[in-house]
Structure 1
Amino acid sequence: MADSSAPNVPSWVDVGTPDLADATRFYTTLFGWAARVSPQPEAGGYTIFTKDEKVVAGAGPPFSEAQRPAWATYVTTDNAHDAARRVEAAGGTVLMPPFDVLDQGRMAVFTDPAGAPISVWQPIEMGGAELFNVPGALCWNELTTRDPEGAKAFYGAVFGWGVKDNAFGPVTYTEWLLNGRSVAGMMPMAGEQWPPDMPPHWMVYFAVNDCDATAARAAELGGTVSVAPTDIPQGRIAVLTDPQGAVFSVIRMAQT
């Protein structure tokens, strides 16, 4: 991914979870992260995770009791209100209109026309993650959807993304491009491996040194190995679920 907090690039992820203490235990042990809890009462215990003293991800309470535990992808924007207008014009839904997050920035939460949630972040004091593409840090964001053609139109209109389609057997994998650089991906939800009740979503990937060892450790810590370690051209991946039910992926990048 593009390791940048430039506009229209995914640059932050956080997990919404009903048990911040246990989520912190799980992720700090799994990835070797340190945790810093916001001292401001109105932050609700929002926690910043760091790796080698650099910010890598966050964790916070759910916005409502109905919200399922999940990792969220944030795309940097110059103006959250303008982004919200583009979302509505392109057929998406504004779930949470732009609002200030203390003095750190402004965010908004949307769904694309197929229902996948996506957030934007307009930075003020906090720019986003500071470390990418190394073990223990975010390395990829990927939309999984049953409507890839609709997604191409929507995300192109909202973020100005172009596309590069890559054929992998019967599946066409799409890279999202910004100014010719790959910034994220898209996987079509086609085939029996996708349960019909699984909603479209944005998956987050963290780089690791050893995919198999990380998957085994996640299970020891109370998580679940949802998809066992598997080789792909880009490396070796596994899909994991934390003890609260939030799903994420890990990848040992192929040596180049």
Structure 2
Amino acid sequence: MSYDVHGTQSWVDLGSPDSHASKAFYCDLFGWESYTLTFSGFADYEILTEGDSGPGIAGVQALADDTQSPSWTCVFRVDDVDACVGTVEAAGGRCLVDPTDVAQMARIAQFADTQGVEFAIWQPGPSGETTVIGERSAACFVELACRDLAEAGRFYGRVFGWSVMDADDGHPAWTRWKVGDQLVAGAVVMDDTWPADRPSQWTPYFDVPDCDAATGRAVELGARVRVPPADIDLGRFSIMTDPTGVRFALITLADPDR
């Protein structure tokens, strides 16, 4: 699977009310290391890595204030960040953070879609900075929970060129999207069984060798299980909230190349 194609997953970024606690939780759970980046005009930013000198897997930063909700932000690769702003706005989305250069690493921007779900885009910078996606212990899949699946499909189809990938069982409450023949994301309808005040959001799935064991370890570290380990066609997965209340998922892929 290629992650350098327009519209594919590129990065995950955690906004946390306690960045030190979040870093400790995920580093313990996945065996990650970390280092701190300081940029002019930005708060300190923690880069989580697969080793002392390995490429980045995820980022962690403290929330700016109490009005922000802790969450993972899913970041998608684009060919041209500035051009994508117009595409998002023409599709009905809102720009929350204007295109910004992060040192020589990347050019980024952040948006809300037509249902208020935040996401970001990333265009690699001159440094050719690489990230780890789709490998063991890294994010390998993202899933949108929303109230209107058809509207989400329209919006992201226009922004990223996604199209629907036929589901094996034709379940009307969820769908999967692709770029070309490549699976890039999934979506589930938040029906009446979901709490009315639950916001729509993106959730990253992290690849682990043993979903049950990793779920148990996450609970030991303070996570709460929302969906216990279960089998789907992609593999065995679980969904949890971390000790600060942020939703994330684990998956042991049945076919890592899928």
Same fold, TM-score > 0.5, yes or no: yes
Which residue in the other structure is 1:62 paired with?
63
Matches within 5 A, 1:88-237: 88-125=89-126, 130-166=131-167, 168=169, 170-192=171-193, 194-237=194-237
| Further displaced range: 52-61 or 86-95 | 52-61
How far is the alpha carbon of 1:158 from its aligned partner?
Answer: 0.9
| Corresponding position: 1:81 with 2:82 | yes
> Bigger CA drift: 131-140 or 12-21?
131-140
| 1: CA distance, partners of 2:186 / 2:128 | 22
Aligned residues: 254
- 8 Å CA contact 1:86, 1:157 repeated in 2: yes
8 Å CA contact 2:19–2:61 kept in 1: the answer is yes
Distance 1:104 1:56 in 2: 14
Question: Unaligned stretches of 5+ in structure 2?
Answer: none
**Structure-2 residue corresponding to 1:16:** 15
Q: Quick check: 2:39–2:103 contact (8 Å CA) kept in 1?
A: no
Whole-Å separation in 1 of the counterparts to 2:106 and 2:46: 16
* Residue 7, structure 1, aligned to residue 6, structure 2: yes
Cα distance change, pair 4–145 in 1 and its aligned pair in 2 (3 A): same
Looking at structure 2, the residues matched to 24 and 140 of structure 1 have their Cα atoms a distance apart, in angstroms, of: 21
Identity fraction in percent: 37
Contact kept? 1:14, 1:57, Cα under 8 Å: yes
Corresponding letter in the other structure for 1:150: E
User: In 2, Cα distance between the equivalents of 1:41 and 1:89?
Assistant: 32
Q: Does 1:250 align with 2:224?
A: no
- Give the deviation of 1:110 after TM superposition: 1.0
Aligned counterparts of 1:206 and 1:37: Cα–Cα separation in 2:
22
Tell me the distance in 2 between the aligned counterparts of 1:243 and 1:128: 30
- Contact 2:47/2:56 (8 A) holds in 1: yes
Cα distance in 2, alignment partners of residues 251 and 131 from structure 1 = 16
Cα shift readout 1:122-171 (whole Å, capped 9, x = no counterpart) = 22156676333332111101111111111111111111111123164753
**2:166 aligned counterpart, secondary structure:** strand
Following superposition, the deviation at residue 174 of structure 1 comes to 1.9
Compared CA separation, residues 195 and 129, structure 1 to 2 (3 A): farther
Q: CA deviation at 1:27?
A: 0.5
Hey, what's the Cα distance between the residues in 2 that align with 1:155 and 1:38?
A: 31
User: Structure 1 residue 254: deviation in Å?
Assistant: 2.0
